[in-house]
Structure 1
Amino acid sequence: MDDTVRIRRLTPADAAAFQALRLAGLQREPSAFGSSFEEECNETLDAVAQRLAPSPDNAVFGAFDAAGALLGVVGLGRERMLKLRHKGILWGMVVTPEARRRGLGRALMQAAITAAREVPGLLQLNLCVNAQNTAALQLYQSLGFVAFGREPAAMLVDGVLHEEVLMALRW
């Protein structure tokens, strides 16, 4: 990753840029997300800003270029139920096509992992990835994530069933 890209936690002020990037990703690669463009396209900026509000159990990290354009994001959440609160969830990883192959995905993941390790009581991160997304699978494996299962027919997108790989990172 070049020195002109900055990774930081998003704030409610980033809602418009986050929503635009996310909607573009949902349209471009619908099989990469559990959510859909149709579900999120009418979400208000206030609702998006609330998702980005500071919280000890949730964060969204963004990669910004020197001009301040948002190039990629990844979300970090925590399970809410008492017996599951030792687990975090990574969600919504997306990098613009023109910014790929520059190390942004790795930098975003490292920021999320670092933040997760600082959360008291968090011992593990989980994620799901489309089984056909070999680039993402390789990235996650290189960061220490281990596959612990596969969900056949995890998503139905435009009449096509997609399998997901379930992965975890423990510390």
Structure 2
Amino acid sequence: MLMAAAAYEIRWLNPSDASAFQTLRLAGLRASPSAFGSSYEEEKDRALALIEARLAPSPDQGVLGAFAGGQLVGMLGIRRQDGLKTRHRMALWGVYVAPAFRGQGIAQALLARAVAFARQVPGAVQIHLSVNAANASAIRLYEQAGFHAYGTEPAALLVDGALHDELLMQHRLHPAAGPVA
């Protein structure tokens, strides 16, 4: 269900948002450890300067934030792959909406903005992501946004002694596109 866009604002984060980003990211890592490849323990002492650098504007990557009443309540990262043979691929990472703000269309709005951004990146053909294979609501969200599963990575994450499979998904930005020259 989508709520009116006036209920929240979606915009690109910048270095001045580093503290709010770190607070929300750490909350997500703590609340949903099996939803992320990183961990709270790995990121809790990360220097703010590193986060500021991560949020610096770039033409082929960034972090979108959803704000409600001036508070960062949702986020999504997208970046182009670095390798010469993989630069046609964008990677979606770090998708999280605070529990109190779920069900308001925020994740859908973040995804729509990320897909629109990726379509504007020269040479980008597809977006890839991985999602916990047991997270049915997240999988449904991605499917509704045009992502399709293409495989499963068994035992991709080990969280608190439990193995978690990851579903690998992709979204073709230009469905009729053939090989990229």
Q: Indicate the TM-score class for this superposition, using the shorter chain for normalisation.
A: over 0.9
In the alignment, the residues of structure 2 paired with residue 112 and residue 10 of structure 1 have an alpha-carbon distance, to the nearest angstrom, of 13
Out of 142, 145, 148, which is 1:146 matched to? 148
* Structure 1 equivalent of residue 77 of structure 2: 75
Q: Could you report, residue by residue, the CA deviation over 1:48-84 in whole angstroms, capped at 9, with x for unpaired residues?
A: 010000111211000001x210010000011100010
Mapped pair 1:38 → 2:41 = yes
CA distance, structure 1, for counterparts of residue 7 and residue 17 of structure 2: 19
Distance 1:90 1:162 in 2: 19
Residue from 37, 58, 61 that aligns with 2:64:
61
- In structure 2, list runs of 5 or more residues that go unmatched: 175-181
Write the distance in 2 (CA, Å) between the matches of 1:14 and 1:160. Answer: 34
What stretches of structure 1 move > 2 A for 4+ residues in a row?
A: none
In 2: Cα distance, 1:75 partner to 1:134 partner? 21
The corresponding residue for 2:29 is 26
**Residues 23-67 of structure 1, C-alpha deviations (whole Å, 9 max, x = no match):** 0000000000000000000001111010000111211000001x2
The two structures have a TM-score, normalised by structure 1, of 0.98
- The equivalent of 2:159 in structure 1 is 157
Letter in 2 for 1:21: L
Give the number of equivalent residue pairs.
170
Cα deviation, residue 139, structure 1: 0.6
1:118-157 equivalent positions in 2, closer than 5 A: 118-157=120-159
Q: Which runs of 5+ in 1 are unaligned?
A: none
Aligned partner of 1:84 in structure 2 is 86
Query: Structure 2 counterpart of 1:89, which letter?
Result: A
The one-letter code of the counterpart of 1:17 is A
Say what the alpha-carbon RMSD is for the aligned residues.
Answer: 0.6
Give aligned-pair identity as a percent: 52
Corresponding residue of 1:114: 116
Residue 12 of structure 1 pairs with residue 15 of structure 2: yes
